[in-house]
Every structure is written in structure tokens, then in C-alpha cells.
Copies of this chain bind each other. A is one copy, B any other.
Amino acid sequence: MNINGKATRSIVLAADGWAAVIIDQTRLPHEFVTRRLENLEQAAEAISAMWVRGAPLIGATAAYGLALAMRSDPSNGNLDRAGQTLMATRPTAVNLRWAVEDVSARLRPLDAKVRAEAAYARAAEICEEDVAINRAIGEHGLGLIRKVWEAGGRQDRVNVLTHCNAGWLATVDWGTALAPIYLAHDAGIPIHVWADETRPRNQGAGLTAWELGQHGVAHTVIVDNAGGHLMQHGMVDLCITGTDRTTARGDVCNKIGTYLKALAAHDNGVPFYVGLPGPTIDWSIEDGLADIPIEQRDGREVSEITGRTAEGAIATVRVTPEDSPAANYAFDVTPARLVSGLITERGICAASRDGLLSLYPERHNRPVG
């Protein structure tokens, strides 16, 4: 997508052809800072310090981290050490583990001399695969947006509500939930996005608003409390969110608060769609509410908020009394019954086992797990 009119991606190779360049997302939306990753340690820091976030982008960064490691020392020992270093940055990130294992398994049989080149090639491939998946999600979701637009006689702008950031900043390009929005915008459909602030980490107010603005997509930031009111008054045509984990029957585990928006959508007859790459479906789990443990994070993410002062400094302020504890549940589960459909790279399906199997028939008759 575009930054200030110039096409880019969340991770690119530098002009020199070997360093990886990423955006320090912790500085957004207040400062646009890119960072060159020139060795394994810098790639690991990019992940652990959350300069990069979002499963696909973390995976791509790890792949380039291995390529950088192979560039300096392509030995078996270094391949193992590099994998361990990367894996330790965020131990629960499934996509990180997958990328490290995938690249390592491909390199191990190779002669040390060709490992760096092979690692770069695979890292590029991982990026292209992510872009292709997201673009396909976008194409399928675009159909939904186009239908709304055409139903309104191509007169009215289409209002989409999204929660958190499932945009190109969380992937290599396009995003998942936002891919249909970018494609609609690029196709000339007048589209406007209600961006939920997404407390406590404000990914909507910071990242979603920023990336939409940079690409020129009309949007308005709202507090997480506002979506129900907007839906009651016909101001939302469609909700599209991402998901961290989707169960085999279509329950959706996503950023805390997604469930509340799905309830409001259901109560007001607003379609609620979830964009996801097929590989993130967890076929081993059926009941998201019972079987997905919800991570609790530091309460300071609730009690303290970081932003930019009028003088341009980045500052953190406390909004709660010193003695008041805060709880910080990171995700919630939206039951499949509230989800109008899942937008995948293979098409749109019902949020149900049958729906998912219609798109992923190769999962038929496999033992659970």
C-alpha cells in the first residue's frame, strides 16, 4: 500500500539487496521511522521490541533474520542458534515458529555455500505468498463491498467498521480485514471506515487510522463504545475484522471487544465478516470459548496511555488512581453464530465446520489435530 503516495510494504529488501528494512511500528502514528535489519540480532530485536507485529509480518521478519544469519555464518551450528534466538523473541507466536521451522528445514540439507541465497529466496517467497493470500482475501471481500455499493444504486459511500489493526502493517501487504477496503478504494468505490480505537493498545486509533490515511482511504476514529450506536442508526453497512485464531467450527478469537461489535451487528442486522488466511484456522479446536485460553497482559496497558504532546514529545500518562488495579484481557471469542461469514483466500464461507470444509475439503476425514 501507499505511504505518502509511494507504494511500499511492511518489510522490503534494501537497495543493496541484502539488508531488510522495516517500519518501527511502535513510533506510529506519531513518527514514521524505518529501520535497517543487518544481522540476526537486529531482526530478533525487531520482533521482541514489537517494531513489527502481526503474525504474517513476524514470520517474514524471522525468515529474513535467518537469511541474515546465513549470510554471516551458514554453519549448522549457526542455523540452530539463529532459529533458537528468533523463537525466543515471542515464544507463543505460532507463525514465527512456523517460519523458522520451514526455512530451517529447507536449508539444512543444502550445502553451506548456498544457504544464504536459498534463505533469501525462501524469505521472499514467504512474503509473496502472504501478499497473494491477502490479495485473494481482498478480492473476495471486495465482492461484498461492491454488492452494498450497488444495492445503494452506486450513490452512497459504503461504511465499514473495523476493530484493531488487521491491515497491511500487520501483514506484508494488503492486510486481511483491510484488504477488501483497499481494493474497493482502488476500484473507485467510495468507502469510509469507522476505525475502533481498540483500547488498551490503541491499534485502531494509531495504526489503522494511519495506514488508511496514508493510502487516502476516508476514515473516522471512534471510541470502542460507539459502534453499537452507529449500527443502531444505520451508519454501518458492514463490519470486517481480522482474527488471531479461528476454530474448526468458525468461532473467532480476536482482539478484546470484537465480540461486543459482533453482538451489535447481529442485533441490528449488519453483516459481520472476518478476514483470515486459511493457514490460521486451528482445526484442532472446536469450541473457542471453552478451549482458547485468553492471555492476560500487564494492567499498565490499561492504566497508562502513550501519545504525543502538543510540543511533539512522546509521553505516557496515567488515567486511573494510583491504587486502583486494572485487568487486561487481550482477546475475546466471538461465537460462530454471530459471524455472517469468513473471508478466506479461497472464497467466502459460512462460519461453521461445513462452511470451512467446503473451502478446505482436504481437511475432510482427517483426525482432529
User: What separation, in Å, do the CA atoms of A327 and B159 have in the docked complex?
Assistant: 14
Contact of A199 among B224, B267, B325 (CB under 8 A): B224
With both chains docked as a complex, state the minimum distance between the C-beta of A48 and any C-beta of chain B, in angstroms: 24
Count of chain A residues with a beta carbon within 8 Å of a chain B beta carbon: 66
A225/B326 in contact, CB under 8 A: no
Measured between beta carbons, the chain B residues less than 8 angstroms from A331 are: 229
User: What separation, in Å, do the CA atoms of A68 and B329 have in the docked complex?
Assistant: 50
With both chains docked as a complex, state the minimum distance between the C-beta of A334 and any C-beta of chain B, in angstroms: 9
Contact of A222 among B232, B309, B326 (CB under 8 A): B326
B263/A228 in contact, CB under 8 A: yes
User: What separation, in Å, do the CA atoms of A309 and B294 have in the docked complex?
Assistant: 30
Q: Which residues 319-352 in A have Cβ within 8 Å of B in the complex?
A: 319-321, 323-329, 331-333
Given contacts A199-B197, A209-B321, A307-B317, contact A223 B226 (CB under 8 A): no
Which of A195, A224, A226, A304 has its CB near the most chain B CB atoms (within 10 A)?
Answer: A226
With both chains docked as a complex, state the minimum distance between the C-beta of A126 and any C-beta of chain B, in angstroms: 30
Q: Which residues 217-248 in A have Cβ within 8 Å of B in the complex?
A: 219-230, 232-233
Given contacts A315-B309, A319-B205, A320-B29, contact A224 B263 (CB under 8 A): no
User: What separation, in Å, do the CA atoms of A198 and B197 have in the docked complex?
Assistant: 13
B225/A199 in contact, CB under 8 A: yes
User: What separation, in Å, do the CA atoms of A224 and B200 have in the docked complex?
Assistant: 9
Which among A113-121, A133-141, A254-262 touches the partner chain?
A254-262
Measured between beta carbons, the chain B residues less than 8 angstroms from A267 are: 263
| A310 CB within 8 Å of chain B | yes
User: What separation, in Å, do the CA atoms of A219 and B202 have in the docked complex?
Assistant: 23
Query: Can you show 17 pairs from A to B with CB atoms below 8 A apart?
Result: A30-B318, A195-B324, A199-B224, A199-B225, A205-B319, A206-B319, A209-B324, A210-B324, A213-B323, A221-B327, A222-B329, A225-B255, A225-B260, A227-B260, A229-B259, A229-B294, A304-B307
10 pairs of A and B residues whose beta carbons are closest in the complex: A225-B257, A307-B317, A229-B332, A29-B321, A199-B223, A209-B324, A263-B263, A221-B326, A307-B319, A228-B259
Q: Besides A30-B318, A213-B321, A232-B332, 4 other CB < 8 A contacts?
A: A221-B326, A222-B326, A259-B264, A305-B319
